Amino acid sequence: MERHRFTTSMTTLLLVFSACAQAAPDPPRQAQLQHLLDQDCGACHGLRMTGGLGPPLTREALAGKSRDSLIATVTLGRPGSAMPGWAPLLGPDDIRWLVDRLLQGKPAS
């Protein structure tokens, strides 16, 4: 029983630390990432993210998909498809920001 309580406490501590360690990109970087989303992602997913070569990335289309699976897709890509992995060009904070932006619903540019 005592070991379970310790494990639960450690897990909670790690989750809090992990959340604190994830920093949002600064405003100039956010502008760069928004441009990448509009232009690079938009080239395949449509300039309004309603689909094209790639599937739609609208808020409605992403509803029910887990944040972690979307982060993995952006990070690693989709083998056998045109979706590249962006990890060589973007850091984890950048990728999380892009995914969160899509989940919030990208505003019209």
Decide: 99 and 67 in contact? Cβ < 8 Å. Answer: yes
pTM (two decimals): 0.76
Q: Is 42 part of a structural domain of the chain?
A: yes
Q: Domain limits at 50? A: 26-104
Q: Is 87 part of a structural domain of the chain?
A: yes
Query: Which tens digit of pLDDT belongs to each residue from 26-85?
Result: 999 999 999 999 999 999 999 999 999 999 999 999 999 999 999 999 999 999 999 999
∠ Cα 15 85 47 (to 5°): 100
Query: Which tens digit of pLDDT belongs to each residue from 15-33?
Result: 434 444 568 899 999 999 9
- Number of domains the chain contains: 1
- The residue that leads in pLDDT, 6 or 85, is 85
Question: According to DSSP H, which parts of the chain are helical?
Answer: 2-21, 27-36, 42-45, 59-62, 67-76, 92-104
* CATH number of the domain encompassing residue 60: 1.10.760.10
Q: Is 5 part of a structural domain of the chain?
A: no
